[in-house]
Structure 1
């Protein structure tokens, strides 16, 4: 057990100690880019997508996670896609987070599909009480990944508050074939304060 835990810690250190200039963190719906309290840079999403409208969650529904208090909602087209650059590595860790926050005042969170490079990633079922997130590791096919939000129900509009992309070392998960994507099944928290890997 100790050997397994030690190996997991070494892998995490290797992944997160590399230069993070190509780690993309997007605060969807934010008007500006900024540095958070940890010194991490969060981009506005204007350089990654040209459709959708910026919104704020209701003041009574604000989250302790800063990036969940703004979002971009897509009410015009049936599918809207972010283009995330993937310049330096073959495998990327991707995370999309969702918090409805009653931004529209209707108290009717939508259901919609999340896709990557034309493949279904997940069906997002938003709710009024908690955020949800989806993670995957994906072997890229080119110099960008397309992350799309697709409407699946009339008058239920996709939205997204936060999107992240982290390049992984080439020798991490060497058994993963290029025609695969790995989706999160579960995660154990060995004493960390945060519920989300970051």
Structure 2
């Protein structure tokens, strides 16, 4: 499968940052194709995380990173978008002591010239650190940039873009975006992570930490889904899931 720097048939862009070569692969969990990042950036270098952090459950895209030891600002450019449309951006980071220093950095992440978040990872983390933003893109491309703030070398494990219906998340417009705090699954499959294909926008719905803290309700009536967010039926409370 040859990697191309453009969206797939869903409009998705899924990048395995630091993956060498030009060949994409299909993720076993989501069946989405992940492409190497060479077509999206011309800076940085490919590195592998330490073998001790590679566990059976760790997705392939976290086995490697792209690090940026040079320049204060390094960017990925995602193209073939539709100007004025709404998109979800997801960046993922798994330090895994890739540099052998056991000293994870922290640095800033921007969408274009706008601040997105400060990336703070731990050397002891065995799970990826992720951040999401929902934005309206003004052009037919968008840049995601890693900003060196003099606290170590910026790096990234994965970068994804997902198109959204313009009616979703009405708080987001040309001058204001949203950054995800958390997104939880309270449905009958509440002990699993729900994402694509159950959510056509590939939003990630995490299990609630302790479901015993909540009362369990059920109904024979239809559960109305708020079209403002279009939560997938799999994460809704028990009952008849209706659109």
After TM superposition, is the score higher than 0.5?
Answer: yes
Secondary structure of the equivalent of 2:61? helix
Instruction: Kindly indicate whether residue 59 of structure 2 is the aligned counterpart of residue 65 of structure 1.
Output: yes
Confirm or deny: 8 A CA contact 2:93 2:156 kept in the other structure.
Answer: yes
Q: CA RMSD in A?
A: 1.9
Which of residues 114, 122, 130 is equivalent to 2:117? 122
* TM-score in terms of structure 2 length: 0.69
Q: What is the deviation of 1:174?
A: 3.6
In the TM superposition, structure 1's runs of 4+ consecutive aligned residues that sit over 6 Å from their partners are: none
* TM-score in terms of structure 1 length: 0.84
Q: What is the deviation of 1:33?
A: 1.6
Which of residues 15, 24, 38 is equivalent to 1:33? 24
Confirm or deny: 8 A CA contact 2:109 2:117 kept in the other structure.
Answer: yes
Gaps of 5+ in 1: 1-18
Which of residues 22, 35, 45 is equivalent to 2:37? 45
Higher relative contact order (CA 8 A, sep 6+): 1
Q: What is the 5 A alignment of 1:134-173?
A: 134-153=131-150, 156-173=152-169
Q: What is the deviation of 1:186?
A: 2.1
C-alpha separation between the residues in 1 aligned to 2:191 and 2:31? 19
The structure in which a higher percent of residues are helix is 1
Structure of greater Rg: 2
Q: What is the deviation of 1:34?
A: 1.2
Gaps of 5+ in 2: 1-7, 196-203, 206-243
Confirm or deny: 8 A CA contact 1:86 1:142 kept in the other structure.
Answer: no
The worse-fitting range, judged by mean Cα deviation, of 73-82 and 62-71 is 62-71
